[in-house]
């Protein structure tokens, strides 16, 4: 258990497929060739080819924009990504796209009707303003066609607790790495735990203060770096990050990048990567500035330890863990309890410079749930702050693709029923309106879940997809969200690359969302009432 003293400003498969350069696509077994440089270490190479580059497929114009595009290979990749999180044969769908039946359960006395199959919940929702994904799709094409020139496709996923849980983001990471190659686990904020990644990397610390912003007011400073959090270590403080499984090829890495700040009162750092001698880094300068130090090792499983030495404290932002081989890198940058406007309080240079250095091809902004509880804030004020956030992102990354991931259903109990929060619908409307103005797409998680009252059904389902607090999702629920979001992000890409004859039609269960809620006497209607969490 990390010995963190938290300072919280409460303000308001692995194989050599790339060597062969072959991709099996669709039921017809269509094979495309692709070349790549030799892997770092053949025994550990882990790259899965994507789909073919370049021209439109023969059936590109036949794709229905309201439906995802699947081939047999895509369905297998989705199944593998589910298993990485839920376990073998425990996913919501199998490798053929079939919804897995729920196991029989004993019902509580008087429980009528029986819970519906949670594996069948959630529906495909396309990304609105899908043209905003053009840069992301072009980057995937470049990675497939010229991995010697475009070595990584990067994604930065910002958000609050839904994102920090790192489950839907991990699904996206595993799925995209299955298709396009494993570029490494990505950026680990040292001041904020990446939820699901704790199963792969153990992070321990002593003598470290964690700082981040959790609400709307201005903090004493904005020195929080790329993720919006910082780990401040004194002369005797230390942080150690270690892969839990030293035999899992997916966790092997060769490039470790330390992000930190140099300040007038900064100290010194001693950094050890693997068994090599520690390297001393100065964190002192006349002005506050971001710094970065890259450590390269042989591909393998290396522990990293950062110690504060000498006088003064040092502000650590994060550690990137990657490998030289081409592939996908997804950085999970969520902080529980935050709002989009939190980004406005981050020091611009300390945030913008490392963001530009990592150069994401796609930025996901998943906010809105916490803002739903800000009843005293006029919706016009929320819109103005979100405009400033999107402007800040666009100034930092003018050419990147951007998608606003809207909040899911977040009801409140009222009497014998559940009531949709009016402000939730207002926030969704604002996000939908602003996204295209800033060249972003919008993905409607509320509609994906099924709209008003759907969270009640997700909580009641078996297996359960919604958490009992009616705010968050279960691990399975977040996996389902990642699957739908991944399908939406790649719909247009796959429409161009998967030939019509290789496509697989998948019919999900057609249970009408909300029917079980109504049948059980639980109402889901719009109205007013307490918005408290």
pLDDT at 216: 53
pLDDT at 519: 41
Mean pLDDT in order along the chain per 10 residues (533 residues): 41 37 35 36 38 46 81 96 91 90 58 79 97 98 96 96 94 97 95 75 90 70 91 91 90 96 92 92 94 96 92 92 97 93 93 97 97 94 98 97 97 85 95 98 97 93 92 95 98 96 79 40 37 36
Q: Which residue shows structure tokens 């190659």?
A: 181
pLDDT at 20: 36
**Non-local CB neighbours of 405 within 8 Å, separated by 6+ positions:** 159, 364, 365, 366, 443, 445, 485
pLDDT at 111: 55
∠ CA 72-363-375, rounded to 5° = 115
pLDDT at 196: 74
The CA distance from 194 to 198, in Å, is 7
pLDDT at 509: 59
Of residues 178, 149, 226, the one with CA closest to residue 75? 178
Residue 54 falls in which region: left (phi positive, over 0), alpha (psi -120 to 50) or beta = left
SS3 at position 255:
strand
Continuous segment of H or E residues that includes residue 136: helix 134-145
The CA distance from 452 to 516, in Å, is 13
Say if CB 218 and CB 180 are below 8 A apart.
Answer: no
pLDDT at 49: 44
Continuous segment of H or E residues that includes residue 298: strand 289-300
């Amino acid at each position: 258990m990390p010995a963190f003293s938290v300072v919280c400003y409460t303000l308001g498969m692995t194989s050599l497929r790339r060597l062969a350069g072959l991709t099996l696509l669709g039921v017809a077994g269509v094979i495309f060739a692709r070349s790549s440089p030799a892997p770092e270490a053949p025994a550990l190479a882990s790259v899965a080819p994507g789909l073919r580059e370049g021209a439109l497929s023969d059936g590109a114009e036949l794709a229905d924009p309201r439906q995802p595009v699947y081939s047999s290979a895509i369905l297998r990749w989705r199944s593998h990504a589910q298993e990485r999180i839920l376990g073998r044969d425990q996913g919501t769908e199998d490798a053929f796209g079939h919804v897995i039946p729920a196991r029989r359960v004993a019902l509580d006395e008087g429980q009528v009707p029986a819970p519906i199959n949670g594996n069948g919940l959630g529906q495909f929702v396309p990304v609105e303003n899908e043209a905003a994904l053009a840069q992301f799709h072009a980057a995937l094409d470049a990675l497939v066609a010229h991995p010697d020139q475009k070595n990584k496709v990067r994604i930065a996923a910002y958000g609050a607790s839904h994102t920090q849980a790192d489950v839907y983001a991990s699904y996206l990471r595993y799925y995209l790495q299955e298709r396009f190659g494993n570029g490494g686990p990505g950026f680990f904020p040292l001041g904020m735990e990446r939820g699901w990644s704790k199963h792969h990397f153990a992070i321990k610390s002593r003598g470290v203060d964690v700082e981040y912003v959790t609400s709307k007011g201005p903090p004493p400073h904005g020195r929080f770096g790329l993720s919006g959090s910082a780990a401040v270590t004194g002369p005797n403080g230390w942080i150690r990050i270690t892969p839990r499984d030293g035999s899992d090829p997916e966790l092997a890495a060769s490039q470790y990048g330390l992000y930190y700040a140099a300040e007038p009162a900064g100290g010194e750092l001693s950094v050890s990567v693997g068994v090599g001698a520690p390297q001393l880094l100065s964190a002192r300068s006349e002005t506050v500035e971001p710094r970065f130090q890259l450590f390269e090792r042989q591909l393998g499983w290396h522990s990293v330890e950062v110690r504060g030495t000498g006088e003064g404290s040092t502000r650590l932002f994060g550690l990137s863990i990657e490998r030289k081989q081409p592939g996908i890198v997804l950085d999970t940058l969520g902080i529980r309890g935050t709002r989009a406007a939190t980004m406005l309080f981050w020091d611009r240079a300390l945030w913008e410079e490392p963001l530009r250095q990592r150069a994401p091809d796609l930025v996901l902004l998943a906010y809105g749930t916490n803002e739903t509880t800000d009843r005293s804030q006029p919706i016009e004020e929320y819109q103005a702050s979100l405009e400033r956030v999107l402007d800040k992102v666009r100034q930092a990354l003018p050419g990147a693709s951007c998608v606003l991931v809207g909040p899911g259903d977040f009801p409140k109990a009222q009497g014998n029923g559940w009531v949709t929060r009016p402000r939730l619908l207002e926030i969704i409307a604002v996000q939908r309106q602003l996204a295209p103005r800033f060249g972003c797409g919008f993905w409607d998680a509320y509609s994906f879940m099924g709209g008003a009252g759907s969270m009640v059904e997700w909580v009641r389902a078996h297996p359960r997809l919604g958490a009992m607090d009616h705010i968050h999702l279960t691990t399975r629920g977040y996996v389902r969200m990642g699957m739908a979001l991944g399908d939406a992000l790649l719909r247009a890409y796959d429409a161009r690359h998967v030939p019509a004859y290789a496509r697989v039609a998948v019919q999900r269960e057609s249970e009408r969302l909300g029917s079980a809620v109504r049948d059980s006497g639980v109402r889901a209607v719009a109205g007013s009432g307490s918005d408290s969490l």
